[in-house]
Structure 1
Amino acid sequence: MKNNLLSLLLFICCAMATQLISQRVWAQTASASMTVEQLNAIKAIKIANLDKDTYFKSGGFILDRYEERPAYVFAYSDGITRKIYLYKVFSAEDTKELGLLAIYKNEKTGAVKPFVIPGASADRKAWDAYIDDLKYVGEKEPGLMSTLTFVLSREMAGLLSGGAGKADEGSGKKKEEYNFCFAADALVTLADGSSKAIQDIAVNDVVMGYEAKTKTLAPTHVTRIDVHTGSFALAGVWVAPVQEITADTRTTLTAPTLLEATANHPVLTATGRKALGDIKAGEVVYRYDATTQGVVAYKVLRLAASVRSVGKVYNLVTGSGAYLVGETVVLDK
């Protein structure tokens, strides 16, 4: 009787903490109403490595580790270590926040139990499904209710004190930061050296890739294409060959070449991976050279935080992790 009463109290506390945290978190962000179909789809997502996979896309959703936190770890007197991982869930199409994914893991048995916590404006059926999961699974997995209740209650306490929940605001993180993309007319270099607009690229197309280990160009397959619709500002950098800039005998120079993308899209620089918007004048990027069939160094001459705005953007995922846009080496996000 005492155990049943304790379980009921934990269940009530967990449900109340969930409702409060959803109202606080999703009131501060652009959010969308979660349906029960979306809840079930999110719950079915398999995460290969919970400790390393902190940001990824799957099945039309973006999962981003909540406040970039590591797992909550609980060492109980029964000798079993239990963990709770939290992810924010966004719609990949418009990057609106849908809810929170809490994943419970029993380190002894390896059992993993996902709980999709809807946003405050979610469909009632989605909330019913979450409560059903919470009660049914919580009764069958000792330690689950207490760990989940603690985590949600602690996050709620942080929100009420003005701590957690403001990390996005303090870091300047916006929903647009989940889109790493190019305009529809951005030219992708194909394996034969010709080019095609990124909007016309299809999965399994062979494009020119870049192998970081060997620092060479090689054909690679497109494994996925991300498309986002909305309003997106494109940043731009103008580059010119390093050799031309440093040579003092040149009488004519090649006109600077413009590369534009969302400010957060990563490109390859002489100092490694860097977001386009973080590149400074004088830094070096790499572009395709048809004569040598390799890459040559180009120096950034100037940059602009906003070149133009577009209504649709595209991103490729490739086998090599890098491809060429405007003949410039860019990296998978």
Structure 2
Amino acid sequence: MNSSSFLLTGFAGLEKQYSWVSIPFSSIYAIVFLGNCMVLHVIWTEPSLHQPMFYFLAMLALTDLCMGLSTVHTVLGILWGLIREITLDSCIAQSYFIHGLSFMESSVLLAMAFDRYVAICNPLHYSSFLTNSRIITIGLAILGRSFLFITPPIIRLKLFHYCRPHILSHSFCLHQDLLRLACSDIQFNSYYALVLVLCTLLLDALIILISYILIIKSVLAVASRKERQKPFQTCISHICAVLAFYIPIISLTMVHRFGKHLSPLLHVLMGNIYILFPPSMNPIIYSIQTYQIRSRILRLFPLKRL
């Protein structure tokens, strides 16, 4: 193995079953690509969906699509026996996109929570506040927040000296995995990564929770039970997307923190769930729960009566 390359462990212990393991992973990636492309196509081609709520949904679908693209070549490459090594530059680039897109997903979910808050709690100001120019500004802010803040520790990975065995514990590159192999001073990266997670993922989750407390308070103030149903129904899809994103993160954190005695394969599987579960579930969630998306997809694939 070249000194500037790293060995991807993949799914240790399942090497003989890779041909079978590749089937569910290939199916999941197919759902990620086809599902999110379908959502983007529907929003792009249906004029009635050109409104803030669906613009944010398009941002979420694009983020999920890019997340799939950032990992598919190494995950399926290992399962299909095509690759086992990755160069340092490629590894750093993959790490940059994986972490940047994770922060972007959290930021988009936060923007969607803000959209629901304004729509339900301040409906009269919704169209005047969330104009196209403001949505573009929010989108650019999400992009900058997600990728600019992650740049300093990722750039430092290139400067580190890696003297330990160049064996990565996953089927893709992660910042913390590369830190484990470095013999340089990693204190800045460790503290910076912790602060970044607290100021993005944790803060976003807290603000989303507060927004829904305010939404519930506002909806319960409505006298009619029938009038309460519609605003709650518009939030179900977003709540499911939030849970699909944060539950794997919390589960992966718990496994890393308290499951060091567990099989390394479980850590690898949890890492893949964290990467693939939200992108594969979001198009399903919004296709089922959102009437406008569901009806447009059914028009694309009409079911003939027998």
Q: Do both share a fold (TM > 0.5)?
A: no
Which has the higher relative contact order, 1 or 2, with Cα contacts under 8 A spaced 6 or more apart? Answer: 2
The structure richer in helix per residue is 2
Report the TM-score, using the length of structure 1 for normalisation: 0.20
Report the TM-score, using the length of structure 2 for normalisation: 0.21
The structure richer in strand per residue is 1
Could you say which structure has the larger radius of gyration? Answer: 1
